[in-house]
Every structure is written in structure tokens, then in C-alpha cells.
Amino acid sequence: MASKTSRASKTPAYKCAECGWTAIKWVGRCGECQAWGTVEEYGATVARTTPAATVLEPARRIAEVDGTTAAFLPTGVDELDRVLGGGLVPGAVILLAGEPGVGKSTLLLDVAAKFARTGQDVLYITGEESAAQVKLRAERIDAVAHTLYLSAETDLGQALGQVEKLEPKLLIVDSVQTLSSADVEGSAGGVSQVREVAASIIAAAKRRNMTTLLVGHVTKDGTIAGPRLLEHLVDVVCQFEGERHSRLRLLRAVKNRYGATDDVGCFDLNEAGIEGLADPSGLFVSRTREPVSGTCITVTMEGRRPLLAEVQSLLAESANTQPRRATSGLESSRVAMLLAVLQQRAGCMLHKDDSYVATVGGVKLSEPATDLAVALAVASAKSRKALPQRLIAFGEVGLAGEVRPVPGINQRIQEAHRLGFTHAIVPASPAGAGVIPEGFSVREVGHLAEALELLIT
């Protein structure tokens, strides 16, 4: 008679690696989160008691822990340091995600070279290109450094062997989806492989106090590819954004264990490489000698950072029964709402005109505070009267035509004054506009009709 065991026999079952949904048979798509290719077989076993092991390093009082070992190390790229909260933390694992061609590899190669020039060893593991191809890009963007090492590897064991041999202070893996482990079934980029690769690299980073930057791919809808567990394991998750036909790139932190997530870094991607933009407002504002109707400057907030942007509008008599409404850089539904408010609440008849509303420089404006600038630009195009020069406007417009307060009124005014603007139309707020710079004129309005008086006088 067979002896009894404390462990139950495995029963075949299937579980989603993303949300944990279970099924009795394999399916290609999860029935809960609707993700494809995440359902895997697993065996259900009863819980077992793990015996206590010998403690190798006893717990210490928190006051006795040396916090200087986790101090920020500047990367040499100010805009990246701004987003990370001050620089790289030893032992931290940072995931940088973005669409193909947005400039992730170029940015990290520039970071690797500048960090290596401080005398630290940097290991750049590339699984998508050969070492020669990376060298060509490094020469083009002046990112060649004596202590920067390249390794073209797709095997996780070989990559960890390179880490053991070199013991770098900074490790860059481009990308985490290209590495695979021989101990795990599945092809590179699969859920199981990405989980194993990330866990092994993170363990090595924590053990060696080695800062690690991982490049991650994104799906068609812009989310990070692979299991959600990947985002939970790392310390920092950054999104690198930008239009393919624009030089501007924005870096945002959506998760940061060492700092805030409400700041944004701006970069200019050009033929010579990538460089940080301390003052990117010039990319979003056109330069004309004379005032032009249909244009208005606004100040939008990207995290805690105020940026000036220009909204342009063009109206033309429509030859169709249904006028055309075209937008670029703005939400089409919100622009359509503002056109209706202008017609019903301000008497600006637009039902027979084709309207085209766009931003300058390819910037995307989704903040409600840009409503007032859009409305003024459309009204200016309709009346063919230009707004005064050196004027900015911001405020949220409601369906009743009221202009609502927005956060950071004084911060926006200070930024406009710094860049040479002298007038502002802002929403009336109980807290007021704060301290107004000398020589700067502020007009508070509570309704859209009050702002449109500028085009009448």
C-alpha cells in the first residue's frame, strides 16, 4: 500500500498571469481582463510549512541604517534627473517604456556615456542591435567613453555572466523583452520569460547595489508590454512620449519610489542626438512680426512645469451642409463643445463655417485650462481681428459660458512674465491671482463674453 504524502497531487488548471483569473481548460484570451496569451497551466498544491533558516544578517534598528548608500547620483542629463527626483539611486531598477523610434535607446546611450565619464563602469547590453551598430550611433551623438562597455546578448545567463565579470555601477538592458532564459519555456518576450528575466536582473541589482535601466516595449494601445507584475517589481516606471514627426520628446514618471511623479522632462531629438530642453516653450510658439488673427497664447501645466503654447484657428465658409470640424493637438470633442458654447452663449455664429483648430509645434494640449485660449482664437478668426501682442489667456470654459478657476494661476503668470509677456486674461478666483509682477497687467473674467470684449474694443 502506498504511503500517504503531505502534498496533494497536482490537478491541471489554467490561470491568467495578469489578473489571476482561472479556468479548467486553456483559452487564448482571459475571460476577466481580456488579455491575449496570458493564460498558463499551473498545478494546484496544498500549502507547505517552510522551516526557519539561519539568519545571515540580523535586522538592524532603522536609525542605524546608513542612508548615504542610497544617495542620488546625477546622470549628467538634467531633464532626466528632474523626472527621477535628483538622479540615479544605487540599487534602483528603472523601467523606461515608449513606442518604437521615440528615442529610448538614444537617450540611454547618452546617459551611459555621461555617467561613464565620471569614472564609473557602465555595461550596456543590447539585444536588438549588434555592438557595431550601437558604436555607430554612439559616435554620431558623441557618446563614446572609456569605461562604457557594450555587449550584444540575448541569453539571460550570458548577460548575468557579463555583470559578474565587470561589476558595473550602471547596467542598461535594451530591451528586457529580447532576453530569454534557458530554464523557462517560451520564446523571448513572452509572459513567463519577461517575468523570469526581470526577476533575475532585479535580484542582481539589489544584491550588488547596481543601478539598472531597463527598456520596455509598449503595445498598440500604448501600455507597457508584458505582465503587470513587471511594473510592480521595478522601483521607477517612466514613459517616453513624442510624435514621430516632431522633435519634442516628453519623459514622465508614472511610478517613483524615490520622488514625485508630477514632473516632466523635455528633450529635443535631432540629427546630432538628444538634448534636454530647460525652456521648451519656444518650440510651441510661432514667431510673427505682426499680430495675426486666429491665434492665442496659453500656459499649460505639464506636471509642475508651466509651458507656453500657441493655439491657431482658421475659419472658412463651408460649401457643405455639414461644416467640417478639424483639430490637431487638441481633443476634437472638447473643441466641438467650445464651438457650441461660443455660438449659444457668446453670439459667435459658426454653424456655416468650416473650422480648423491646431497647436504649434505638434504639442498636445488636453488640460481644460486651454479652453479660454481656444475660444479666443476661434473668435479672433471669426472677427478677423488679432488679439493684442504679448497676451496670454487660460481658464476652463463651462457649458454656461462661465470661466472657471484652474490650478497654478500665479505660477502661469510668473512664467509668462519671465518670457516677456505683459498681459493676461485669467479666470476670476476667490484666492485671486497672487503677487503680480511689476509691469504685468492681469484681467480677471467670470464669463466668456467678458473675455471677448477685447475683440470689440
Instruction: In whole angstroms, give the CA distance from residue 231 to residue 254.
Output: 10
- 67 labeled binding residue: no
**Euclidean distance between CA atoms 173 and 418, whole angstroms:** 41
Q: Confirm whether residue 105 is marked as ligand binding.
A: yes
| 101 annotated among ligand-binding-site residues | yes
Q: Is 318 labelled a binding residue?
A: no
For 269-294, b/e burial (b = at least 16 CB within 10 A) is beeebbebbeebbebbbeeeeeeebb
| C-alpha 173: how far from chain center | 19
Q: Distance (Å, rounded) from C-alpha 434 to C-alpha 456?
A: 28
DSSP 360: S
| Burial profile 389-416: b = 16 or more Cβ within 10 angstroms, e = fewer | ebbbbbbbbeeebbbbbbebbbebbbbb
| β strands within 360-428, DSSP E | 391-393, 396-397, 403-404, 423-427
The three cell numbers locating residue 199: 526577476
Q: Is 86 annotated as a binding residue?
A: no
Q: Is 186 annotated as belonging to a binding site?
A: no
Known binding residue 161? Answer is no
With b for 16 or more beta-carbon neighbours within 10 A and e for fewer, the 230-246 pattern comes to: bbebbbbbbbbbbeeee
Backbone angles phi, psi at 337, to 5 degrees: -65, -40
Q: Which cell numbers hold the place of 269?
A: 531629438
Select from 451, 385, 402 the least CA-distant residue to 424.
451
- Residue 209 is placed in which grid cell? 547595489
State yes or no: 168 annotated in a binding site. no
Nearest to 111 by CA among 100, 120, 102: 120
Q: Whose CA is closest to 103, among 268, 231, 307, 339?
A: 268
Where is the binding site, in residues?
98-105
Where is the binding site for ATP, in residues?
98-105
